[in-house]
A = this chain, B = another copy of it.
Amino acid sequence: MPPLTRARIVAAAIELIEREGADAVSMRRIAAELGVGVMSLYNHVPNKSALLDGVAEAVLSEIEFTDDPAAHWTERVRVQARTFRQIAHHYPRSTMVVVSRQLASTAGMLPVERALATLRGAGFDGREAVQIFRVFIAYVVGSLLREVGVTPGFAPVHRGDIRVADVDVQLFPEIGALSPHLLSCDHDAEFDFGLDLLIEAIAVRKQNARG
């Protein structure tokens, strides 16, 4: 067995989270997974919270930006948002850990740097770039939260949204009428829909400011 290492511990934590959910994560479970004693972990990680920070950092650092600097900024923003979402989908349950945790590591900052550079390159000033960046972050994180919350990991069985039969159609006529659309969801398409909406709106506003 290779020596115990912070990286190995984090990897085991991620694997455990993906397999059994974030609630199943405990120092004891992780130690058992690695075949070591519980307290051995503490030689490489100061505490559980730091370990989860490590998980967030590891997930974030897997983002690979295949960014084409020659492309139009709208396309670059689109690609960056999609990339972020894609890796989140690779680790759906760990994503919950990532978003529910303040990230102050360098791994979390690289995507920020890229996004800001793209926006500034598009001609936005500092204030605008940060503001736009925050809007995108909010949208992407909000989308992920809904998607992975609904994801059939296998804990929340059969409740994509709400049991339609149970809703009082008198009280909630719209929900009743639109239940087919509420129950089905092409996550990819809907994500792109909102993403394009935002990009379009910003592009339009940019045009107006210059015109």
Across the interface, which residues of B come within 8 angstroms of A138, CB to CB?
138-139, 142-143, 145-146, 194
Inter-chain CA distance A138–B148, complex, in Å, is 12
Q: How far is the CB of A53 from chain B (nearest CB, A)?
A: 12
Q: How many identical chains are in the complex?
A: 2
Query: Given that A113-B175, A198-B197 are contacting pairs, would A145 and B145 also be in contact in the complex, using a CB cutoff of 8 Å?
Result: yes
A interface, size bucket: 35 or more
Interface residues of A in 140-168 (CB under 8 A from B): 140-143, 145-146, 149-150, 156, 159, 161-163, 167-168
Inter-chain CA distance A129–B143, complex, in Å, is 17
Do B197 and A134 have beta carbons less than 8 Å apart? no
Across the interface, which residues of B come within 8 angstroms of A200, CB to CB?
201, 204-205
Inter-chain CA distance A120–B181, complex, in Å, is 13
Query: Given that A113-B174, A120-B174, A190-B134 are contacting pairs, would A126 and B181 also be in contact in the complex, using a CB cutoff of 8 Å?
Result: yes
Q: Which residue of the partner chain B has the closest CB to A105?
A: B162
Inter-chain CA distance A66–B174, complex, in Å, is 19
Q: Which residue of the partner chain B has the closest CB to A150?
A: B102
Across the interface, which residues of B come within 8 angstroms of A177, CB to CB?
126
The answer, yes or no, to whether A39 is at the interface (CB within 8 Å) is no
Do A182 and B130 have beta carbons less than 8 Å apart? yes
Contact of A175 among B109, B178, B190 (CB under 8 A): B109
The answer, yes or no, to whether A32 is at the interface (CB within 8 Å) is no
Q: Which residue of the partner chain B has the closest CB to A146?
A: B138
Query: Given that A102-B156, A127-B181, A159-B102 are contacting pairs, would A135 and B174 also be in contact in the complex, using a CB cutoff of 8 Å?
Result: no
